[in-house]
Amino acid sequence: MSITARYGDPELTLGVVNETLAVQLAHRSVRKFLPDPVTDDELTALVAAAQSAPTSSNLQPWSVIAVRDPQRKARLAVLANNQRFIDEAPLFLVWVADLGRARRIAQRAGAPLDGADYLETTVIGFVDTALAAQNAAVAAESLGLGTVFVGAVRNRPEEVAAELGLPPHAVAAFGLAVGTADPAEEAAVKPRLPQGAVLHRERYDAESADSHVPGYDSTLAAYNLRYGLPGDWSGRVLSRLAGPQSLSGRHRLRGYLERLGLPSH
C-alpha cells in the first residue's frame, strides 16, 4: 500500500485496505509512454467507467473524443503547449463539457433552454466532465495503463474546437493521455498535502490547516530534488497563480466560452 508514498511519511499506515484504494493511492502522472496500443475493449471499459460517475440531475453534459491519429495528436500537442507525451501516448482522450446535446434536444422540441446560459449550468458541465474523466483514469490504472491529465487544451480552446470539429455550445475541458507507462521514466508517487491541511471537522479551521504547509514544503522540495525539479509547493502555487502572464492564455477563458456558445451569465 502506497499510503506512505502518498504523504511522504514512512511511519504512516492505513487501517483499511482494498484493491481500489491500492490503485488510487498508487496514482502518478505518466509522461513517457511505450508504443503499445490501447485496445478498443480497453477504451470501451474506460468510457463505461466514465459513464458510471455521478451526474447532476442526470444531465450527462459531457462527451469524449478518442484521438489515435498521430498527425491529429501532433497538432493537439502543439496547441497544448508542445507537450511531447501527447504525441507518444497511443490514446489521447479529449473530454468535452458539452451543452450542445441539450441545446439540440431543445431545438428539435421547439422548447426554451434559457437556463443553459447561466454560470451554474457551465459549472455543472465542467464538474460532471471532471467526475467522468477521473472515473476513467482510475479504470485505466486498474487495467495497468498510465495516465496524465492535460489542462493545456484550454490554452487555445477555439483552435482545439476547430481541430476536433466541436459543435456550438461545447468546449474541450482537458485531455487525458493514456497508454502503457515507460518503465524508464524517472518518476514516483508525488506526496500530497497532509490530511490535516485539507480535512476539517465540522467547521473550517484555517490556522490549523495552514500550520501543515511548511512541513509539506520540505517534503515536496525533497521529492523534487530527487527528480531534478526546483522548489517547494508554496513557491509553485505563487508562481502558477502570479497573474495573467502565468496562466498560459487561459485568463481569456470567459471570452472563449462566450464565443463557443457558453455565455455563463
Going from N- to C-terminal start, the domains of the chain cover: 1-27, 29-185, 190-260
What are the residues facing 148 on neighbouring strands? 177
Q: What is the pLDDT of residue 34?
A: 97
Q: What is the pLDDT of residue 11?
A: 87
pLDDT at 250 over 90: yes
Using a cut of 0.85, tell me whether the model's pTM lies above it.
yes
For 22-63, what is each residue's pLDDT tens digit?
A: 999 999 999 999 999 999 999 999 999 999 999 999 999 999
Residue 178's pLDDT band (boundaries 50, 70, 90)? very high
Mean model confidence pLDDT for the chain: 97
Q: What is the pLDDT of residue 1?
A: 52
Question: Among 1-5, 38-42, 74-78, which stretch is predicted with the lowest mean pLDDT?
Answer: 1-5
Superfamily of domain 29-185: NADH Oxidase (3.40.109.10)
